[in-house]
Structure 1
Amino acid sequence: MPSTRLVRRRAVQIAVTAVVLAVSGCSAGEPRSIGPAGVDGLDIPTRSPDPVDFVDTIDNPWLPLVPGSRWVYESSDGETITVSVPGGTELIAGVEATLVETLVERGRRSESSKRWLAQDRAGNVWSFGAESDAVDWTAGVAGAQAGLVMPARPRLGDGFRRQLVPGVADGRSEVVDLSASASVPYGEWSDLLAIRETDGLDPAVRAVAYYAVGTGLVLTETAQTQTQLVSFTQP
């Protein structure tokens, strides 16, 4: 069984960059998708993304990954998590993906991870790969598929896969609230987007991530811990 710290860390990673947050624990069934708009017209996860469908910037209001941005979080179990967008990119499956770096610090110990994300022309943000102690994958390699991290227009009940890495990760998300309230050191909100993050291969991992327009991830909750945003800077 995964440790409490690994479960929480995977949750934070998945949510933050949208990323491999292998927060999990949903049923083995397919993620839900409802209504005539939003994510319904997308192939999720996708084996062969078309590079012409993607743009150079990530300006989704729920996940604004502007180069030079920096988020600092503190967890209830004593860890500090710093997420940054240094401005680098990498060509993955023909798509120029933006690098997002995460540094987890606990006393003298630290652990870093990387994720690569890209936004399509409609404003949806996709995950194209991750490199960490928990998961290491690249879309298009060994059957791994790019998944959806953040829809352009989230709707209550929408479900989607964040990534699909055969035998390693089956990240799943479901929009559970469009007007959630939360208070963290950085601020207070009453209109947060709440997304439940799970992994079909690991029922022990489960979290809810809360996003604010213009800021991104502000709070992640698991059964054991809370991780709160304490500072946010953007050019």
Structure 2
Amino acid sequence: MRANPIELKKYAPEWTQLLTAVAFTFATLFAGKLLAQDENSATESTNICLQTARDALVSCKSAARSDYEVAIGRCINITDPAGRRSCQQQAAADLADARDTCSGGFDVRRASCQKLGPGPYDPIINPTNFTTTIDNPYFPFTPGTTFTYLSRNGRIRDVFAVTHDTRVINRVTCVQVHDSVYTNDELTEDTLDFFAQDREGNVWYFGENTAEFENGLLATIEGSFLSGVNHDKAGIIMKAHPAPGDFYRQEFSLGNAEDFAETLNLNS
């Protein structure tokens, strides 16, 4: 039955009100969801530490994928089918391991952010606040002193020699330490480390030139960094007055050299 136009006019306002109410409710819910998303995004955008961890994760996975593609390119140039398959399988395994390493690094950074806080890491380096006299009782460096550390099984020997040499890094004059690691009496790592102490007694780590060797040949210089170069930054290697619960960065070269320190107790 065809409705009377008058009746339509009579009920139209009620339907309009209902549809308007539904539309308003939906718009309110949608706007609330967007607002919540905006608030979450704002929170994440202000958490520089966590965003840094995520950026490093993306970069790490991208590098892993890039290495995989290069490896596959090498594999397809192997004419022997068995050798080619073995190469491809190894490339896939290496990619999986690299991704696991990336995820592990992210987990460490994310956990560290919970202790460090959301702010950026940008320590103020004032050259007049530093000295080459390093007399922190927990980390004293007297030029000419050599420390030797042995692993429990005696296979690894670390020789830590405080030299009389200095080097200016990020406008700060630093003490140069020669750190040599031997595995079964064969040199496997050779590093120059650079330290300075601030007026409060904290010992800072300003960088390292490091090289690792395999079978007597240079394998990598990864881990090398200098504060002030490529936005790399110094960190505290030992506080003047450490306390249980202290947690801080010892170096900051994102994706290259990142160490943290946590004080557990002062009785060891």
TM-score if structure 2 supplies the norm length?
A: 0.51
Tell me which residue corresponds to 1:124: 202
**1:80 and 1:44, CA in 2 relative to 1: closer, same or farther beyond 3 A?**
farther
- Mapped to 2, the partners of 1:101 and 1:82 lie a distance apart of 8
**Percent of paired sites with the same residue:** 29
Q: Does 1:149 align with 2:225?
A: no
Shift of residue 48, structure 1, vs aligned partner: 4.5
Give the unaligned 5+ runs of structure 1.
1-23, 34-42, 181-235
Q: How many equivalent residue pairs?
A: 149
Confirm or deny that 1:59 pairs with 2:135. yes
Structure 1 position 80 matched with structure 2 position 163: no
Residue 112 of structure 1 and its aligned partner are, at CA, apart by 1.3
Contact 1:131 1:137 in 2 (8 A): yes
Deviation (angstroms), 1:171: 1.1
Is 1:96 matched with 2:173?
yes
Q: Distance in 2 between matches of 1:106 and 1:75?
A: 10
Q: Take 1:116 and 1:44, find their aligned partners in 2: how far apart are those partners?
A: 24
Higher strand share: 1
TM-score normalised by the chain length of structure 1: 0.58
Q: Measure the CA separation in 1 of the matches of 2:251 and 2:200.
A: 19
Report the alpha carbon displacement of residue 46 of structure 1 after superposing the two structures with TM.
Answer: 4.1
- C-alpha distance in structure 1 between counterparts of 2:194 and 2:229, whole Å: 14
Which residue of 1 is the match for residue 146 of structure 2? Answer: 70
Q: What's the offset of the Cα at 1:80?
A: 1.2
Structure having the higher Rg: 2
Q: Is the 8 A contact 1:144 1:165 kept in 2?
A: yes
Give the partner amino acid of 1:113.
Answer: T
2:139–2:238 CA contact under 8 A, matched in 1 = yes
Deviation, 1:178, is: 1.3
CA contact (8 A) 2:244 2:264 kept: yes
What residue identity is the alignment partner of 1:115? D
What do the CA deviations read for 1:111-159 (whole angstroms, capped 9, x no partner)?
Answer: 3111100000000000001111341000000110010100000011011
Query: Counterparts of 1:81 and 1:66 in 2: how far apart (Å)?
Result: 18
Give the CA deviation at 1:32.
3.4
Instruction: Tell me how far apart the structure 1 counterparts of residues 114 and 193 of structure 2 sit (CA, whole Å).
Output: 23
Measured in 2, the distance between the counterparts of 1:172 and 1:136 equals 17
1:125 partner letter: V
Counterpart Cα distance in 2 of 1:31 and 1:143: 23
Q: CA deviation at 1:30?
A: 2.2
8 A Cα contact 2:149 2:159, kept in partner: yes
Change beyond 3 A, Cα 1:32–1:76: same
Aligned to 1:107: 184
- Matched position secondary structure for 2:128: helix
Would the aligned equivalents of 2:224 and 2:257 in 1 still touch at CA under 8 Å? no
